[in-house]
Amino acid sequence: MSKQTIRKYDGPAGGWGALKSVARTLIEQDIEIKGAKTLLRANQPDGFDCPGCAWPDRDHTSTFEFCENGAKAVAAEATKFRAGPELFARYSVAQLREYSDHWLEGQGRLTTPMRYDAATDHYVPTSWDDAFALIAAHLNALASPDEAIFYTSGRTSNEAAFLYQLFVREYGTNNFPDCSNMCHESSGTALKKQIGVGKGTVSLHDFEQADAIFIFGQNPGTNHPRMLGELREAAKRGCRIVSFNPLRERGLERFADPQDKLEMATYGSTRISSDYFQLKIGGDLAAVKGMIKHVLERDLEVTANGGASLLDRAFIAEHTAGFDAFAADVLAEPWEVILEESGLDEAQIRRAGELYLQSERVIACWGMGITQHKHSVATINMIVNLLLLRGNLGRPGAGACPVRGHSNVQGDRTMMIYEKPPAAFLDRLRDVFGFEPPRKEGYDTVGAIEAMIDGRAKVFFGMGGNFAIATPDTEATARGLRNCALTVNVTTKLNRSHLTHGRDALILPCLGRTEIDVQAAGPQGVTVEDSMSMVHISAGINPPASDLLLSEPAIVARLAHATLGARSRVPWLWLVEDYDRIRDLIAKTFDDFHDFNARVRVPGGFRLSNTARDRKWVTPTGKANFIAAAVPTDNPIHRARRMHGTQPVFTLATTRSHDQYNTTVYGLDDRYRGVFGERRVLFINPEDIDALGMKPGDWVDLESLCEDGVRRQAKRFMLVAYDIPRGCLAAYYPETNPLVPLSSFADESRTPTSKSVPVVLAPHAPEAGAQAPRQRDIPAAVVR
Ligand SMILES: Nc1nc2c(c(=O)[nH]1)N[C@H]1C(S)=C(S)[C@@H](COP(=O)(O)OP(=O)(O)OC[C@H]3O[C@@H](n4cnc5c(=O)[nH]c(N)nc54)[C@H](O)[C@@H]3O)O[C@H]1N2
Ligand SMILES: Nc1nc2c(c(=O)[nH]1)N[C@H]1C(S)=C(S)[C@@H](COP(=O)(O)OP(=O)(O)OC[C@H]3O[C@@H](n4cnc5c(=O)[nH]c(N)nc54)[C@H](O)[C@@H]3O)O[C@H]1N2
Ligand SMILES: [Mo]
């Protein structure tokens, strides 16, 4: 068992540490030999798409690409361990609940459909037919289809997602909360209104040509390790990499590529960021507005002296709307507000602005550090405003790059896993399939939780994911799920959502991406879309973890058949015999997928169109819009600080460790941040620790502050002195989700504000009789 230690990590990101970690994961999952073969086929033309992140693969045809955390994701799925009926016979649900998420995950792959038996508080095996009949009975008994909720996590393939939305709409609702609502919804919302498409505009080739890459609120060393390869190449050829992050993140500083023999052999590494701005949590809007102010001030100076404008005036005139009002707003924003809210000094902001001016071609990337605040949409608009000033959109080496999370989260949205489907799409669905789809907007994630709590929704169906703890306000969400008549989870591994269930409950085990999927017509491949709109095929290579597993498309088809029966216009069971048939329907429904089956079989796949990249602006103004926004000074954080006078109120960002995939905890280390053997840690500035009269290693309880008056606490976190601005804290998700208020979400996008939770700290006070969950450093299955 590893003991908890905190020590400085001096190595680069990647490197030998990454290889050691991969080897350990493979051994822990007992898959040394199979694992190696499995890894070699990740992201190969005849292999499967890595179930890790959505970062694209270089050409997808020749290079051998995997990363440490992709390897962990693959190993987690290819594990030898099984969570079969014996496990559920041995432990009641109440007993399973006492174990940590890490332990639950460690039990291995689920093998058998299981139904909750209230009389014994155990899950018991059931047949697929009985499971579908039970769900159908519940769905058909509801007073309205809008009482059912259909969640999606972003690993679901295009084929499964397409069938799923088709079934649910034919059944009669648009209740499609998805992980996107908690993730890049702010990006989609901001980009759509500003440039007419809710996706990024760059491709990997742009990374080869950029002069500067600005990275806001993203930790690629952990969450998109293959992106480090691109950044490293860029850095080597002199491209400036400019990071904005409150935390010092090793992956943004130095990187050794595990696939570069020389770098590995010499323990060398490449410096990644040329410039690192440690702004305050939530300070990006202010910082970027300050950069723009610098750019505009410099432009006025230069042009007043008869020089050529520093802005791309031709682009602004031809392609944009709203520049004058926007510029006036920026010039009127006082520097004091910008400095106070960003936490940077004027010289730093002017330097960042100067870096922008000096670079001909600029890419802006961002992640969850940007999307999960109250003012996220406005912040993204400000980042795009910056790009627009010098025409950094729709030309080589430049553009917007929201870096997606789940490996097919972007594809699921393209397939219209969306609670607000556009009318034109619904018309098309009606024309292709001959039924009238529902027009009413459905619930998003926050709306779905509220509806379950107050009884407007009674059935929860989860296509993957871990709704119970990935969502905000863990206690409120649990109340909602427990209030349901039926909860169903289609899933690969045991997780907390299966233990936080309705009166009836089902666990439906499905094939993972690495596994061979055989249907009537033979082995099938599915398709996915990466963060840069490339669509390609993915085919598993491992035998299924159990003979009883069904593929996600098969589960949807059989569920639709059971629920809709003769009412349906769709030949469900015929469709899943051969996924080409599903792809033909996708091609009929979306113009961009014409000749889908042919095009996706070309090695490397194909790229979806993107109007903004072609400088066509599908917005109400017909242009790319400059969108002004005031630097916020009255957010929940500000109000909490004002209300709590003397007590220090901190801003908490909930974030990922190096050894987790969202709610799936692989291990208890966070190597690059120097944390080993413990997840309940709180990163805090050493001066703040002093000011609290505490020492590193002390344990504290956290309480978040919200105007709704509800008391939200998370207990027992160890203080870790870290290079982070004063007043800012970071801790891991999902342990801190009980602190994120359900009622606190981003304007417009309704993304929970997981990166800016106002909290106060107190020395840890153990509750009488309370028990910490049973934690095991290594999965119990390995111990046995
Ligand atoms: N191994 C692994 N890979 C993953 C995942 C995983 O859990 N594990 N998750 C996947 C998913 S679904 C997603 S969405 C992505 C997430 O990938 P990221 O977007 O990297 O997500 P986070 O780890 O939540 O944190 C992002 C960074 O934002 C910084 N930050 C926090 N607040 C602010 C702020 O106000 N401003 C700025 N500028 N920075 C801030 C944090 O210090 C952290 O470095 O990764 C995907 N890939
Ligand atoms: N506080 C806080 N909360 C957050 C975030 C944060 O930064 N801070 N980040 C948010 C973000 S960005 C996201 S994307 C969400 C993630 O929310 P989710 O997508 O709901 O959560 P995951 O942890 O990715 O889901 C893991 C589960 O998916 C199942 N699974 C894995 N592979 C497959 C598969 O191939 N098929 C099926 N059917 N199931 C599979 C496994 O059972 C596993 O337990 O969480 C959000 N919540
Ligand atoms: Mo995500």
Position 439 pLDDT exceeds 60: yes
Q: Identify the pLDDT of residue 211.
A: 97
Q: Identify the pLDDT of residue 40.
A: 57
Residue 367 Cα to ligand 3 midpoint, Å, equals: 9
Residue 445 Cα to ligand 2 midpoint, Å, equals: 13
**Measured between alpha carbons, how far is residue 185 from residues 368, 376, 476 in Å?**
10, 10, 22
Q: Residues 529-550: what's their mean pLDDT?
A: 92
79 Cβ inside 6 Å of ligand 2: no
Q: Are 263 and 270 in contact (CB under 8 A)?
A: yes
Order of all β-strands in the sheet with 254-256 = 13-14, 254-256, 270-271
493 Cβ inside 6 Å of ligand 2: yes
Q: Helix H segments across 644-702?
A: 686-691
Instruction: Looking at the CA of residue 219, tell me the nearest atom of ligand 1.
Output: 20
The CA angle 283-287-291, to the nearest 5 degrees, is 170
Q: Residues near 573 by Cβ (< 8 Å), separated by ≥ 6?
A: 557, 558, 561
Residue 369 Cα to ligand 1 midpoint, Å, equals: 6
737 Cβ inside 6 Å of ligand 2: yes
Residue 154 Cα to ligand 3 midpoint, Å, equals: 8
Q: Identify the pLDDT of residue 286.
A: 98
189 Cβ inside 6 Å of ligand 1: no
Ligand nearest to the CA of 741: 2
Ligand nearest to the CA of 222: 1
Ligand 2 mutation pick, 109, 158, 179, max ligand atoms within 8 A of CB: 179
Ligand nearest to the CA of 488: 2
Instruction: Looking at the CA of residue 493, tell me the nearest atom of ligand 2.
Output: 42
Cα 74 from Cα 512, distance rounded (Å)? 10
Q: Residues 242-268: what's their mean pLDDT?
A: 73
Q: Phi first, then psi: what are they for 466, rounded to 5°?
A: -145, 70
Q: Which range, 32-41, 624-633, 636-645, is most confident?
A: 624-633
Of the two residues 58 and 554, the one the predictor is more confident about is: 554
pLDDT bin (cut points 50, 70, 90) of residue 50 is confident
Look up residue 242 and give its two tokens: 């400019």
Q: Identify the pLDDT of residue 547.
A: 97
Instruction: Looking at the CA of residue 223, tell me the nearest atom of ligand 1.
Output: 3
Ligand 1 mutation pick, 53, 372, 654, 753, max ligand atoms within 8 A of CB: 53
Q: Are 664 and 105 in contact (CB under 8 A)?
A: yes
Look up residue 466 and give its two tokens: 């871990």
Q: Residues 728-754: what's their mean pLDDT?
A: 97
Among protein residues, the one with the nearest Cα to ligand 1's atom 37 is 217
Residue 405 Cα to ligand 3 midpoint, Å, equals: 4
Residue-range domains of the chain with CATH: 5-78 (no CATH), 83-182+408-602 (3.40.50.740), 185-403 (3.40.228.10), 636-783 (2.40.40.20)
466 Cβ inside 6 Å of ligand 1: no
Peptide bond into 734 cis (omega under 30): yes
Cα 564 from Cα 573, distance rounded (Å)? 12
Cα 103 from Cα 694, distance rounded (Å)? 32
The predicted-structure confidence for 649-671, as pLDDT tens digits, reads as follows: 999 999 999 999 999 998 899 98
Q: Phi first, then psi: what are they for 601, rounded to 5°?
A: -85, -10
Q: Identify the pLDDT of residue 757.
A: 97
The predicted-structure confidence for 477-536, as pLDDT tens digits, reads as follows: 999 999 999 999 999 999 999 999 999 999 999 999 989 999 999 999 999 998 888 999
Cα 769 from Cα 765, distance rounded (Å)? 12
Q: Identify the pLDDT of residue 18.
A: 67
Position 177 pLDDT exceeds 50: yes
Q: Are 527 and 411 in contact (CB under 8 A)?
A: yes
Q: Which residue has the tokens 């005849």?
A: 46
78 Cβ inside 6 Å of ligand 2: no
Residue 477 Cα to ligand 2 midpoint, Å, equals: 15
The predicted-structure confidence for 191-240, as pLDDT tens digits, reads as follows: 999 999 999 999 999 999 999 999 999 999 889 988 888 898 899 899 99
Among candidate residues 296, 194, 290, the one with its CA nearest the CA of residue 627: 194
Position 317 pLDDT exceeds 70: yes
Ligand nearest to the CA of 53: 1
Peptide bond into 422 cis (omega under 30): no
Look up residue 657 and give its two tokens: 């460790």
Q: Identify the pLDDT of residue 522.
A: 93
Q: Are 409 and 184 in contact (CB under 8 A)?
A: yes
704 Cβ inside 6 Å of ligand 2: no
Ligand 2 mutation pick, 158, 474, 662, max ligand atoms within 8 A of CB: 662
465 Cβ inside 6 Å of ligand 2: yes
Cα 45 from Cα 58, distance rounded (Å)? 11
Q: Residues 4-32: what's their mean pLDDT?
A: 67
pLDDT bin (cut points 50, 70, 90) of residue 780 is very low
The predicted-structure confidence for 341-396, as pLDDT tens digits, reads as follows: 999 999 999 999 999 999 999 999 999 999 999 999 999 999 999 999 999 999 99
Q: Identify the pLDDT of residue 777.
A: 39
656 Cβ inside 6 Å of ligand 1: yes
Residue 320 Cα to ligand 3 midpoint, Å, equals: 31
Among candidate residues 724, 722, 559, the one with its CA nearest the CA of residue 137: 559
DSSP 250-269: HHHHEEE-TT-HHHHHTT--
Q: Identify the pLDDT of residue 620.
A: 96
What is the amino acid identity at position 345?
A: D
Q: Which of 548-557, 601-610, 769-778 has the lowest mean pLDDT?
A: 769-778
Give the percent of the chain with pLDDT over 70.
90
282 Cβ inside 6 Å of ligand 2: no
Q: Which range, 259-268, 513-522, 641-650, is most confident?
A: 513-522
Among protein residues, the one with the nearest Cα to ligand 2's atom 38 is 464
Look up residue 539 and give its two tokens: 């085919």
Look up residue 719 and give its two tokens: 């203080």
What is the amino acid identity at position 718?
A: M
Among candidate residues 749, 2, 753, the one with its CA nearest the CA of residue 413: 749
State the chain's mean pLDDT as an integer: 91
Q: Identify the pLDDT of residue 784.
A: 25
Q: Residues 454-467: what's their mean pLDDT?
A: 98
Q: Residues near 144 by Cβ (< 8 Å), separated by ≥ 6?
A: 172, 173
Q: What count of other Cβ atoms lies within 10 Å of the Cβ of residue 420?
A: 10
Q: Residues 96-107: what's their mean pLDDT?
A: 94
Among candidate residues 466, 412, 448, 630, the one with its CA nearest the CA of residue 105: 466
249 Cβ inside 6 Å of ligand 1: yes
Among protein residues, the one with the nearest Cα to ligand 1's atom 2 is 223
pLDDT bin (cut points 50, 70, 90) of residue 782 is very low
The DSSP element (H or E) to which 317 belongs, if any, is helix 313-319
69 Cβ inside 6 Å of ligand 1: yes
Among protein residues, the one with the nearest Cα to ligand 2's atom 31 is 492
What is the amino acid identity at position 109?
A: R
Cα 622 from Cα 490, distance rounded (Å)? 42
The predicted-structure confidence for 59-83, as pLDDT tens digits, reads as follows: 544 333 457 777 788 888 889 999 9
